[in-house]
Structure 1
Amino acid sequence: MSIKPTYQELYATFTSLARQVNELEGLANQNQALIQENQGLIKENRGIIKQNQLLLKENRQLKDKLFTYENPKNSRNSSMPPSKDENHPKPNQSLRKSSDRKVGGQKGRKGKTLEMTAHPDEIIELVPDYCTSCGNALQDFSPQKEQSRQIVDIPPIKAVFKEYQTFSKICNCGCTSTADFPSGVNTSISYGENIEGLVAYFHARQFLPFARMQEVFNAVFNIHISEGGIHCLLNRFSDKTKPIYEIIKQRVCNSTVIGADETGVKVNRSKHWFWTWQTPNLTYITHSRNRKGETVTTHFPNGFPNSTLVHDGWKPHLNTFAKNHQSCLPHLQRRLNYLNLKYKSATWGLDFSKLLYDALELKKTLPFQNKEYTIERAKIIQKLQCLLEKPPDKTHKELFSFYKRMRRERQHLFTFLFLENVPADNNASERAIRNVKVKQKISGQFKIEQAAQNFAQIRSVIDTIIKNGLNVLDELALIAKFEFQRVD
């Protein structure tokens, strides 16, 4: 027999169920609020993470900037020229190692001093006329030579005016024959070959500005010459050097080892470039409007198929076709000096610096092709391979970029260890191109492109003369004297 629930029991049950429903709704609302709160926290957390990443990036940038201020690049830890150094560079940045030698001239060095000549141009005899003790006359006594002293001096320089006069003669046949003026005597008066050579010497060897050159000719040589006249003489002399300039270019191209470099130059307030390709006996310099590879292909379209090209790693040189390439190790060492200062915790840069130093020392200390030399060379190549297989930390951005560059240039780093006449540095090319910087500091910019090319052409000839041990002024006067024919 079933017992029906009473009204009170049903009401209590309903009330209990309603309470549970309310509790469930409250929990659902609370859960929804917690979900929304959680989503807000997730969104806030993502913002914090993003902000943290930005702060970390900013921190690295500020550290790099602070390092740049504390350790500025200079001529000792980068490829910057010494003229750009703001202050004296730190001593520990030099690539030169200390030695046991004392400062000054070394033992066995042959010095030069002012010496008396055995054949003086003028002799002045100083003979006493009376006795300094008793006052008696000494004219009847024979003098005895005691000492000789000489003074070397330059007499006042006076221009020599050479006049050419032509005459005519009448033959029995009635024909009148008139003599011709020699080559170069084209006007009623003109400057001779010695002045022409001297202008080129002052311009491209002593780097005198036109105004100061004009003053020298007026004050020292008593010759009046205008700045326009100097410019004309330089143009004329430059034309005479063209055959020699072309010969230098051809011989450089056919050389077994060639150094290359380039530097900026101001021409009419615009930045242009001077390029050089040189050997121990030859220097070829040219002016260009750009620093691109088209300059190389313009002057050497076939590249250097039989040569080893030594350079500082600038892309146009690196892409030049050549039998071999050699990167300049001092450039790399200076770069590593800077990177090792910046990333002190990284050992890769230190190891690579030591590898380059060991390679340079090997070439200096052991005879080429010696058995021990060959063994040590193999160790250096093996060490290079190991370093390139273990890259530095990618967070060391500039060091990692240097590492990638070394991977690209790995075949060009130690060419000098395999070829005896190949240098490990590009110093000779830098010396060949440095003269334009000296010229600009003394004389300022070139006003026209023709003037820049004239300087490059004349300086190429002068540098080649110097490298071959000849007298610059004599050779320039000889070039000015003769009209050369183009040699193919």
Structure 2
Amino acid sequence: MSKDSIRDKITKLQQESEAILKTKNLNADVRFFIQSMMSILEIVVAVLLEKKTRKNSSNSGLPPSKNNGSNGNRNKNSGQRANLGDQIQNTRNITNEEVTTPAECSNCGIDLSQEKSLKSETRKKIDILYEIITTVVTAKIVECPKCGEINKGPFPKDMNGPLQYGIGIKAMIINFSIVQMMSLERIQEYLKGLIGGLISQAIMLKYIAQLSSALAEWEKRNIEKLLRSPAIHCDETSVKVNKVNYWIHSYSAGDLTLQFVHANRGTEAINDIGIIPHYGGILVHDCWASYLTYNHVDHGLCGSHLLRELKFIEDSTLQKWATKMKKLLQAAAIKLGERTTTIPRENWI
């Protein structure tokens, strides 16, 4: 029996019981019995439906990777309809174009090579060809014929030792580690198959540390920008670091998002990161208890989280108010998005 059929049966029973209860000459004990049984039935069915309704990313705070049968957040667009124009700026495109003409008629065999075409059909094939560029610099060593000084030809500034790796490999390591969240072991295996050599994890970590150092001033400026924002959206999600559970803490305002990794989820991590303790605006979150301990800020509940919780109530119970509340919140969001002026904070309810 499906959830929908259970709902239909309960709705029908409710309608029938309401019709019976409207009878004027109904005995008080019978009336009480019917009302009690319907209340008990609604509770039992609500518990049953809640157990049958599994939580996922659409009706709870679970990430998409926890969905049953899910392989994460995949692009809904098929490969046939992918936008081929959205590419990295430093990608070199080589386009080979070829036009084919039918040599002869497949039916009668007449020569068609000189005939005009009625129309054309185009198909594409996309492939990737990795190109390894090895730069070898040989510095000659020359003895001065006058004073006997030994002189060596100069090396480029970015070649400090017998072997180093170029900006392309560095960018690939950083992308795989930070963006794609691949382990260092997997990056090692991938690059070994690509360039034929093993890059040590220490070197890869050095590249990541160099990037972090280069972005230190950028991070400082954007933290200050966050602190000046009227509202900050914050959230946290778990991530494995060396098979140990860590937390990614996210802080965003407008098109700016900063993320920090910490071993803890609660106030210890929030204080170490240091944004919320120095903030004085509105903190928008999912009602996680740690955020509510900060009384020097105003609090707002995340609309997306509320909609997901309402969807779970809608899916797992017979309560119709959840559907109405969802529509109300969505309508309010649209209305607020259309406004052209800002409501003064002192006029908020």
Residue of structure 1 equivalent to 2:201: 231
Q: Among residues 287, 303, 313, which one is paired with 1:329 in the alignment?
A: 303
Give the superposition deviation at 1:346: 8.5
Q: Is the CA contact 2:60–2:308 (under 8 Å) kept in the aligned structure 1? A: yes
Q: Is the CA contact 1:78–1:334 (under 8 Å) kept in the aligned structure 2? A: yes
Cα 1:152–1:269 change in 2 (3 A) is: closer
Cα 1:302–1:124 change in 2 (3 A) is: closer
Q: Secondary structure of 1:252's partner?
A: helix
Q: Deviations over 1:75-105 (max 9, x none)?
A: 33322334434489xxxxxxxxxxxxxxx9x
Residue of structure 2 equivalent to 1:410: none
Residue of structure 2 equivalent to 1:439: none
Residue of structure 1 equivalent to 2:63: 81
Q: Is the CA contact 2:50–2:317 (under 8 Å) kept in the aligned structure 1? A: no
Q: Among residues 242, 246, 249, which one is paired with 2:212 in the alignment?
A: 242
Give the superposition deviation at 1:262: 0.8
Aligned equivalents of 1:267, 1:203: Cα separation in 2: 12
Give the count of matched residue pairs.
Answer: 276
The range that moved more, 71-80 or 258-267, is 71-80
Residue of structure 2 equivalent to 1:264: 238
Cα 1:184–1:281 change in 2 (3 A) is: farther
Residues 38-187 of structure 1: matches in 2 within 5 Å?
65-86=47-68, 157-168=130-141, 170=144, 172=146, 175-187=149-161
Aligned equivalents of 2:64, 2:130: Cα separation in 1: 40
Matched residue type, 1:236: K
Q: Is the CA contact 1:304–1:322 (under 8 Å) kept in the aligned structure 2? A: no
Aligned equivalents of 2:237, 2:183: Cα separation in 1: 21
The one of the two structures with greater contact order (alpha-carbon pairs below 8 A, sep at least 6) is 1
Q: Is the CA contact 1:210–1:230 (under 8 Å) kept in the aligned structure 2? A: no
Q: Deviations over 1:333-359 (max 9, x none)?
A: 332344466664686x66654543342
Give the superposition deviation at 1:328: 0.4
Aligned equivalents of 2:123, 2:58: Cα separation in 1: 47
Give the superposition deviation at 1:311: 2.0
Q: Is the CA contact 1:253–1:300 (under 8 Å) kept in the aligned structure 2? A: no
Aligned equivalents of 1:350, 1:70: Cα separation in 2: 19
Tell me the TM-score normalized by structure 2: 0.59
Is 1:361 the counterpart of 2:334 in the alignment?
Answer: yes
Supply the RMSD in Å over aligned alpha carbons: 4.9
Cα 1:270–1:217 change in 2 (3 A) is: closer
- Give identity over the alignment, percent: 21
Residue of structure 2 equivalent to 1:464: none
Aligned equivalents of 2:67, 2:148: Cα separation in 1: 79
Aligned equivalents of 2:57, 2:98: Cα separation in 1: 56
Residue of structure 2 equivalent to 1:254: 225
Q: Is the CA contact 1:252–1:277 (under 8 Å) kept in the aligned structure 2? A: no
The range that moved more, 273-282 or 167-176, is 167-176
Tell me the TM-score normalized by structure 1: 0.44
Is 1:297 the counterpart of 2:271 in the alignment?
Answer: yes
Gaps of 5+ in 1: 1-57, 89-103, 105-110, 127-131, 135-142, 382-488
Residue of structure 1 equivalent to 2:251: 277
Q: Deviations over 1:390-415 (max 9, x none)?
A: xxxxxxxxxxxxxxxxxxxxxxxxxx
Cα 1:193–1:230 change in 2 (3 A) is: farther
Matched residue type, 2:161: T
Aligned equivalents of 2:303, 2:138: Cα separation in 1: 63
Residue of structure 2 equivalent to 1:407: none
Residues 308-323 of structure 1: matches in 2 within 5 Å?
308-320=282-294
Aligned equivalents of 1:244, 1:310: Cα separation in 2: 30
Q: Secondary structure of 2:300's partner?
A: strand
Aligned equivalents of 1:341, 1:152: Cα separation in 2: 44
Q: Secondary structure of 1:303's partner?
A: helix
Aligned equivalents of 2:145, 2:318: Cα separation in 1: 96
Gaps of 5+ in 2: 1-39, 71-76, 86-92, 101-108
